[in-house]
Amino acid sequence: MSASRPIKKVVLAYSGGLDTSVILKWLQDKYDAEVVTFTADLGQGEELEPARQKAEAAGVSEIYIEDLREEFVRDYVYPMVRANAVYEGLYLLGTSIARPLISKRLVDIAHATGADAVAHGATGKGNDQVRFELGVYALDPDLKVIAPWREWELTSRTKLIEYAEANGIEVPTDKRGEAPFSVDANLWHTSSEGKMLEDPSEEAFEIVYQRTGRPEDAPDEAEYVTVGFERGDAVSLNGEALSPATILTRLNELGRVHGIGRLDLVENRFVGMKSRGIYETPGGTILMSAHRGIEQITMDRGAAHLKDELMPRYAKLLYEGFWFSPEREMLQAAIDASQEFVSGEVRLKLFKGRADVVGRSSENSLYSLEHVTFEEDDVYDQKDAEGFIRLNALRLQLLAKRKRKLGVNN
């Protein structure tokens, strides 16, 4: 859109917290614009009705509060699980995967209300500003994105509170001091960063962990759970067919009890700096382990190895905010094609922080007991291995002879 075009209406990603409440008022003052609020329930575990009340008190007439838990798990989490996506070998991308859906709904609501712009509360140091804005621009290049933290003069918590008090915005008691750390949450995970967690040499205090009990305090007896899959997606628990969000909710509870899914990570942000985060992904850790388990018996070696080679690229695209890019969609098509026969059941043992696969079964299994048995069989001639080895050794032998001829030591 033209830079000179006035902004008359803005859709704000609104949590009802102090920051976005200040942003709401700031947008009204700065742009003399009508503000539409959008609050998404992605399973963060918070009551959302107070957000409506705060928006109404601020004079907002168009308020969107949406339960997106099923859509979030079905259309975003599950495709990511099919890819076994893990960033930098450890991170299960809990914050990253929530941003595309929020961006999509911001754009949808902007279209529905005739808004000229959307706004978010992400800071200028983090990844989320990139994820939100890449998502919005991919879906509507003409919408303007307003990022107050990159524009305003409220550069400290003190100034933020002063602005709130001057404009009649309620400041909760726990927001008047420096918050010990910040938290982002959804049905897939929680992420805690900043303040008392900024020194990576110091172990995180137990108060940081909100979704998992200490593994040391978990039950002394293991619990078993069976996850059923169809075409790479979880469809049942212990034989009971359930919706995607219900499955993840129940797995989260199992993970909480058994202390599963804790991660202390120093990661490389897209914007260039390193950051330390404490992540909890209890149900997600169980689900990812189960998905790997069903793939082990249903996927061909070549397809499985190629998929593992594609995964880091896919995970990086998610982390950096390129969910709506053509390359992510291309990779997704390949990944989804690989899941045609990934159906069956996986049994896991949950015990003191671990989710171990202990059983797998599928009508599509490629596992052949006849071929792998140590007993006598009629399907495999062990003499065939000699020619196989000789052919694979040929180039190594030629290389060794050349080294010997040239006097090169190994």
Segment 161-170 mean pLDDT: 91
Distance separating alpha carbons of residues 263 and 318, to the nearest angstrom: 19
Q: Do domains 9-68+98-177 and 183-299+341-361 have the same CATH topology?
A: no
Q: Edge-to-edge, what's the strand order for the sheet holding 274-280?
A: 182-185, 190-193, 274-280, 262-268
pLDDT at 351: 98
pLDDT in tens, 173-205: 656 666 678 899 999 999 999 889 999 999 999
Q: Are strands 344-351 and 223-230 parallel, antiparallel or unpaired?
A: antiparallel
Confidence of residue 2 (pLDDT cuts 50, 70, 90): very low
Distance separating alpha carbons of residues 66 and 51, to the nearest angstrom: 12
Distance separating alpha carbons of residues 11 and 55, to the nearest angstrom: 12
- One of 74, 75, 157, 182 is an active-site residue; which one? 182
19 is catalytic: yes
Distance separating alpha carbons of residues 244 and 256, to the nearest angstrom: 18
* C-alpha dihedral, 355 to 188 to 197 to 146, nearest 10°: 160
pLDDT in tens, 209-246: 999 999 999 999 999 999 999 999 999 999 999 999 99
Segment 266-291 mean pLDDT: 96
Burial profile 323-348: b = 16 or more Cβ within 10 angstroms, e = fewer: bbeeebeebbeebeebbebbbbbbbb
- One of 19, 41, 116, 233 is an active-site residue; which one? 19
pLDDT in tens, 314-357: 999 999 999 999 999 999 999 999 999 999 999 999 999 999 99
Return the bridge partners of 11, or none: 36, 118
pLDDT in tens, 55-78: 999 999 999 999 999 999 999 999
Give residue limits of the domains in the chain: 9-68+98-177, 183-299+341-361, 369-406
Return the bridge partners of 348, or none: 225, 357
61 is catalytic: no
CB of 278 closer than 8 Å to CB of 326 = no
338 is catalytic: no
Residue 360 parent element (H or E)? strand 354-361
292 is catalytic: no
Separation of CA 48 from chain center: 22
Segment 264-290 mean pLDDT: 96
Angle, CA 185 vertex, CA 139 and CA 154 arms, to 5°: 75
DSSP 156: S
- One of 116, 128, 140, 233 is an active-site residue; which one? 128
Quote the CATH superfamily of domain 183-299+341-361.
Answer: Argininosuccinate synthetase, chain A, domain 2 (3.90.1260.10)
Region for 74 from its dihedrals, namely left if φ exceeds 0, alpha if ψ lies in -120 to 50, beta otherwise: alpha
**DSSP sequence for 177-240:** S--S-EEEE-SS-EEEESGGG--TTSPPPGGG--S---GGGS-SS-EEEEEEEETTEEEEETTE
Distance separating alpha carbons of residues 370 and 111, to the nearest angstrom: 60
pLDDT in tens, 363-372: 999 997 776 6
Quote the CATH superfamily of domain 9-68+98-177.
Answer: HUPs (3.40.50.620)
pLDDT at 378: 78
* C-alpha dihedral, 128 to 130 to 133 to 138, nearest 10°: -120
Q: Could you tell me how many residues make up the chain?
A: 410
Angle, CA 156 vertex, CA 154 and CA 162 arms, to 5°: 65
CA neighbours closer than 13 Å in the CB half-sphere of residue 239: 1
